[in-house]
């Protein structure tokens, strides 16, 4: 009787622990994202038909491949939902026959092969790290990211605003001189400059720091705004982590090295080149320097100060307006002065007041900085400003993303592009960039056209922001903005739309497609699997 009671007490505890072990095992089993049940050619081909982005790890020697296998599994977890990872043990049973059929060299310890849209793409040849493998799977046909290039290891590759801030606070602050290249991966001039920049970084190792950051990357827009980046590449020079002035030399190794070994030489060269264009010191404009800046401005109730560079084209345009306004202010005895600072000579003053571009106009009262006054560029505007200094209205708030505006336009990305268009008979997709002027012009016309088909469930007007979905746009060979594509899942077709960009043009085009018989629409594929080739990501 006692044994029965004791057993009855132990049994629930035993069951509990067995259940706990089972659940733990299942959790671990479910945690891995690696497919490892592909053992024959039939299951291999089936996988190629159903998945569009697959990385295979074929292993002949598990001991030698232990490190890469762990990296492979971590990558699979990181890329869950974006790619498929398959591990095949070539030393085991049926899998061994599969590896032989696929001509996997039995002498190598392991090999990584990538398949895209059902076809072999290439052997994986990048660094065997989670970061590199993930970057590759996000864009398997793209160029090698600059931060992975073997000849660019001496460049500090910065990913985002936080990394840039940390670099300036810690890395660059420890060095007297540093240079940062703000670039875009698609920029031709950037690509041409990269080898020289990398060589300069190697040559200057221990003397100066050279960094680079992709400011075309989604999320880095505020960096462009902060440093007034309007073209690529833009190179800015820093001393002990503090911004000094833009680099204006040649985009060649020798010029970059020469500049960083003597940054003042650039200023001197530009000063000599612009010697005849410097502001005449005997004009009615008050010329300030480090010695008289505070004392002179302390005397003036109203002072408009222009920070300029002699070589700057916009500065040359404003100079005669500034001089005429200064003469008129003096003649009419208006209470105020116009002053100028050559920011290439007195860079400390420019840095003190946060000057990042030329010309920059700032308003002072009794020596105290009040606000920027960049809106006063013409003689009349300058005079009116000095008579009644008013802070310009704040810039308009950032434009609301198109995707947040209520409309019938469907906003797509890599995750929902394929599923959103799967049942669409007739659709036009607009690939755009938020900053593109032609896109802004087409947007209201496209939006109104979408409204015209609001009740047609099989018709879609969709938009893709290429600054946020770069890979998707590359897959559709988008070379400029806006690019329009006509897509029909019903007829398995995809083609360029080259019609007009007015509301009536879009509406007329779709109505015409709706009235054409299926047989007269160009057929690109007969099977859904082939259609997937065009809707890959």
Active site residues: 312, 315, 436, 439
| Other Cβ atoms within 10 Å of 467 Cβ, number | 17
What six digits make up the tokens of 24?
Answer: 């733990």
Residue 306 CA: distances (Å) to CA of 58, 110, 322: 66, 65, 9
Tokens of 20: 């706990």
| Count of all residues that appear for the chain in the document | 537
| Both tokens assigned to 116 | 């895209």
Cα 382 from Cα 384, distance rounded (Å): 6
What is the Cα–Cα distance from 239 to 248, expressed in whole angstroms? 16
The span from the CA of 517 to the CA of 521, in Å, is: 7
Closest by CA to 292, choosing from 355, 245, 239, 337, is 337
Closest CA to 211 of 167, 269, 262: 167
| Partners of 183 in the β-ladder | 214
Strands, E assignment, 344-405 = 360-365, 368-372
135 CB-side CA count, 13 A: 16
List of residues 6+ apart from 181 with CB closer than 8 A: 190, 193, 197, 210, 211, 212, 213, 233, 234, 235
Reference 249, options 63, 257, 241; nearest CA is: 257
CA 423, 426, 431, 435 dihedral sign is: negative
What is the gyration radius of the CA atoms in the chain, in angstroms?
Answer: 32
| Angle subtended by helix axes 130-138 and 66-78, to nearest 10 | 50
Determine the Cα–Cα distance for residues 107 and 429; give it in Å rounded to an integer: 49
Measure Cα distances from 222 to 23, 83, 162, 173, 354 in Å: 47, 31, 11, 22, 16
Q: How far apart are CA 301 and CA 321, in angstroms?
A: 22
CB-side neighbour CA atoms (13 Å) of 323: 12
Q: Exposed, middle or buried by CB within 10 Å (0-12, 13-18, 19+), for 426? A: buried
CA dist 431 and 469 (Å) reads 10
């Amino acid at each position: 009787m006692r044994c029965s009671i004791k057993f009855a007490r132990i049994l629930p505890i035993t069951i509990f622990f067995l259940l706990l072990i089972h659940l733990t095992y299942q959790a671990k089993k479910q945690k891995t994202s690696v497919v490892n049940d592909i053992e024959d050619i039939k299951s291999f081909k089936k996988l190629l038909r159903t998945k569009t982005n697959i990385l295979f790890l074929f292993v002949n020697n598990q001991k030698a491949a232990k490190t890469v296998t762990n990296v492979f599994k971590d990558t699979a977890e990181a890329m869950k939902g974006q790619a498929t990872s398959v591990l095949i043990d070539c030393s085991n049973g049926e899998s061994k026959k599969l590896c032989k059929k696929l001509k996997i060299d039995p002498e190598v310890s392991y090999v990584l092969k990538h398949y895209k849209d059902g076809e072999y793409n290439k052997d994986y040849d990048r660094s065997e790290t989670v970061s590199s493998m993930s970057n590759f799977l996000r864009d398997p046909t793209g160029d090698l990211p600059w931060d992975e290039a073997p000849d660019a290891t001496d460049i500090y590759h910065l990913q985002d605003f936080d990394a840039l801030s940390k670099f300036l606070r810690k890395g660059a602050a420890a060095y007297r001189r540093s240079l940062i290249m703000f670039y875009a991966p698609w920029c031709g001039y950037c690509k041409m400059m990269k080898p020289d920049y990398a060589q300069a970084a190697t040559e200057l190792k221990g003397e100066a720091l050279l960094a680079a950051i992709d400011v075309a990357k989604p999320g880095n827009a505020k960096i462009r705004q902060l440093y007034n980046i309007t073209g690529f590449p833009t190179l800015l020079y820093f001393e002990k982590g503090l911004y000094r002035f833009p680099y204006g030399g040649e985009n060649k190794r020798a010029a970059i090295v020469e500049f960083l070994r003597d940054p003042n030489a650039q200023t001197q060269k530009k000063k000599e080149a612009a010697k005849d264009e410097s502001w005449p010191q005997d004009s009615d404009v008050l010329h300030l320097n480090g010695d008289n800046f505070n004392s002179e401005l302390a005397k003036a109730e109203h002072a408009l100060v222009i920070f300029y560079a002699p070589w700057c084209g916009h500065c040359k345009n404003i100079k005669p307006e500034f001089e005429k306004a200064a003469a008129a202010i003096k003649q009419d005895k208006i209470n105020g002065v116009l002053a100028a600072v050559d920011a290439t000579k007195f860079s400390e003053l420019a840095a003190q007041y946060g000057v990042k571009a030329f010309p920059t106009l700032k308003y002072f009262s009794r020596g105290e900085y009040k606000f920027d006054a960049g809106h006063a560029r013409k003689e009349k505007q300058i005079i009116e400003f000095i008579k009644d200094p008013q802070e310009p209205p704040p810039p308009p708030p950032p434009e609301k993303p198109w995707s947040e505006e209520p409309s019938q336009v469907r906003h797509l990305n890599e995750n929902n592009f394929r599923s959103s268009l799967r049942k669409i008979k007739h659709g036009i997709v607009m690939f755009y960039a938020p900053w593109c002027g032609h896109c802004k012009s087409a947007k209201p016309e496209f939006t109104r056209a979408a409204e015209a088909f609001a009740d047609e469930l099989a018709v879609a007007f969709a938009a893709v922001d290429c600054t946020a979905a770069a890979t998707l746009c590359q897959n559709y060979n988008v070379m400029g903005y806006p690019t329009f594509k006509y897509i029909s899942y019903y007829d398995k077709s995809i083609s360029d739309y080259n019609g007009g960009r007015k509301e009536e043009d879009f509406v007329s085009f779709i109505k015409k497609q709706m009235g054409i018989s299926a047989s007269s629409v160009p057929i690109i594929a007969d099977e859904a699997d082939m259609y997937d080739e065009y809707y890959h990501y």
